[in-house]
Amino acid sequence: MATTSEATNSRKRKSDASASTSKGKKARTSVGALLDAILSNPLSYEISDDKDAVRRTLVEIAQYAQSLEHAAANGGGPVPQPKTRQELEDAAEKIRKAAVSGIKKQMKWRDSCKTGTAKWSYDGICPDPEVFGVMLNLGGPPKFKNKKFPTADFEDLIGDISVSIRYDTLKITSNDVNVHWKDGGEFKFSGTYGK
Q: What is the pLDDT of residues 21-47, one digit of tens each?
A: 443 343 346 777 777 777 787 777 778
Spatial separation of the C-alpha atoms in residues 156 and 169, rounded to whole Å: 18
Residue 109, Cα to own-chain centre: how many angstroms? 37
Question: Count of CB atoms within 10 A of residue 118's CB?
Answer: 21
Q: What is the pLDDT of residues 72-116, one digit of tens each?
A: 776 655 555 677 778 888 888 888 888 888 888 888 888 888 888
Specify whether the CB–CB gap between 107 and 193 falls below 8 A.
yes
